[in-house]
Chain A
Amino acid sequence: MTARAPSGSGTQTRFGRRLGLAPFLLFAAFAVAPFLAAFSGAEGYVLSLLTRVMIFGLAAMSLDLILGYGALVSFGHAAFLGIGAYAVGILASQGSAEILIQVPVALAASALFALVTGAISLRTKGVYFIMITLAFGQMLFFLATSLAAYGGDDGMTVPERSRLFGSRLLESDLAFYWACFLCLLALYGLLRAIVGSRFGRVLRGTRENPVRMESIGYHPFRYQLAAYVISGMMAGLAGCLMANQTEFISPAYMTWQRSGELIFMVVLGGLGSLHGAIIGAAAFLLLEEFLPEFLHAAGFLLQDDMRTRLVENWKMIFGPLLILIVLFARGGIMGLLRRGDHG
């Protein structure tokens, strides 16, 4: 498996220059969006869409740590979303809606699951790693479907959003938006620090050549496992936020298709740049949201029933679009931007 992300780290200044404007613009956009949304006339819709984008951005970014920097294609990442979401849902229905209890429980559960499954999965390589992470994801999916007390197949409504020190602050969509924004910003900073540290360099070195890393005295397995656990915990946090946003939990959070979508977001944005994953998540979700609208507009020449049919079947356009992006847009959106810089 070859990695296409830019390699090497260089000095701090080169590092800063390569980072470019993209992350600043990205976070600035998220920061001003609520103010613009107030004028748009559909504030609730815009806020909820962008909150969703940020939550998926967080999940995709956590996946980027192991996928982009570690070349570990984990096909079971949605399981962590499920762990976070079910931690919130189960605790809330047991009467403890305090976020200071829910989040630590979710993080601990994610870390434990990541530690156990990671320790087994990382014994395998390449295709086998993809498949075994997929299998663990499926295992958790079926466990969730059998939790009859918590909705089983159908899922269940979360009785209330998480409380902060007992206050119902997060019930407001705007406050929740800012909470997600702060989470995303803080974890972006944390991940940036992680990939820039010695730990991150060992991880990247292992991606390029594990044998060489081993021969110069590192233990790649430990670094990969640590990265896997960190990544799983972050995705678990994203799951907490997701359950809070939708106020609903169901096994659908951890289908293997969802894991595939997360991988796609990371690749679409560009592997191994962290903010690329957020951009990829945004592009993916906005495409999913607006492609039907776009098709409706583009189909103005068609008769009404054909037009409805076209809009209903937007996935028939979406699928081939994914294929074309994989075939022709190598390096993702960040790759295109980078190419733009040089040419």
Chain B
Amino acid sequence: MTATLLFVQSLNGLQFGLILFLIAAGLTLVFGVMDFINLAHGVQYMVGAYLMAAFSAWTGNFGWALLLALPSALAVGLVLEALVFRHLYDRDHLDQVLATFGVILFLNQGVKFVWGAAPLNVPAPGWLAGSVEIADGLLYPVYRLAIIAAGLLVAAMLYLIVNHTRVGMLVRAGASNAPMVSALGVNIRRLFMIVFGFGAMLAGFAGAMVAPILSVEPGMGDNILILAFVVIVIGGIGSIRGAFVAALLVGLVDTVGRSFAPNLLRLLLDPATASQAGRALAPMLIYIFMAAILFFRPSGLFPAKR
């Protein structure tokens, strides 16, 4: 029983980790290439989910909704870049934190203004509904497996783009030395815009994918943003590979920890204390994990070479 539970929780952790990776990938690139702290990345995830909800209600079809939501999320990212972020690249981190904090306030209220404060639901597509038997008597929702597949697919695609294309080469070069790339005649502003838009689209994609399993509501991006920051800090800022490893670690530690911390503590403490302590400890686990990693490796697991 415990083994199957562990297996199911690991799958959930993997799925959560891959969603985190989609968000963290854009964040770490923006961070690494432009040295820009974008707190508004979480609301871009939320906007993705809302766009998905809106288009899915309009078209009544999951596939079409996704096809429409992605370019719209990209457009939102580009508009924000042109209006706000572009003016902040040369500022210090403090200004970036504050201005993007303003963007969060605006967009969290903005979605309330447009769609209301009540949570929205997005139906999963018919062909991905239901559950499948993955082991003896063990049912797992197909849609969650689809998220895992999509996440792995995007991760592979990102790997190919970053490591085997010209744009990817410029992005990597930008992450290690942006002024030098600019001095070599690359239009660094355009590169920034591409990276930014792409990151926004990935976050939007993550939002769109989780829309059917979570409720779409204002502020849904705020907590996941912090987790994405934890991921990129653990992974090493600017490193896609680090983000991938760290996202899976965080997803697994968080999901598995939440269901097993009370059980593990029961070995040491009496049951009542153990469940109390376990519930207190579980949500703190990833932050303790992060503090421990930064204590031993102050610039993350895979620091980008500078």
Contacts and interface: CB of A to CB of B under 8 A. Distances in A.
B87 interface: yes
A126 B230 CA distance: 15
Contacts of A315: 105-106, 108-109
Interface stretch (B59-67, B93-101, B127-135, B140-148): B93-101
Contacts of A125: 298
B162 interface: no
Interface in A128-144: 128, 130-132, 134-136, 138-139, 142-143
A286 interface: no
Contact of A148 (B88, B112, B276): B276
Given A130-B93, A260-B97, A326 B287 contact: no
Chain A CB within 10 Å — which of B39, B107, B276, B284 has the most? B284
A229 to B, nearest CB: 18
A316 interface: yes
Interface in A106-142: 120, 123-128, 130-132, 134-136, 138-139, 142
B229 A134 contact: yes
A319 B229 CA distance: 22
A282 interface: no
A123 B295 contact: yes
B110 A126 contact: no
Contacts of A142: 280, 283-284, 287
A139 B298 contact: no
B237 A323 contact: no
A322 B101 contact: yes
A320 B83 CA distance: 11
A327 interface: yes
B115 interface: no
Q: Which range holds the interface residue count of chain A?
A: 35 or more
Given A143-B280, A320-B102, A2 B92 contact: yes
A146 interface: yes
A323 B92 CA distance: 14
Secondary structure call for the A interface: helix
Given A263-B98, A319-B102, A327-B99, A132 B294 contact: yes
9 closest Cβ pairs, A-B complex: A319-B106, A322-B102, A319-B105, A142-B283, A315-B109, A146-B280, A323-B102, A139-B287, A326-B99
Contact of B94 (A73, A120, A327): A73
Q: Which range holds the interface residue count of chain B?
A: 35 or more
Contacts, number: 131
Interface string B206-248: 0000000000000000100010011001000100000000000
Interface in A1-28: 1-2, 4
Interface of A: 1-2, 4, 67, 73, 75, 120, 123-128, 130-132, 134-136, 138-139, 142-143, 145-148, 256-257, 260, 263-264, 267, 309, 313, 315-316, 318-323, 326-327
Nearest to A314: B109
Contacts of B109: 313, 315-316, 319
B103 interface: yes
A326 B102 contact: yes
B237 A143 contact: no
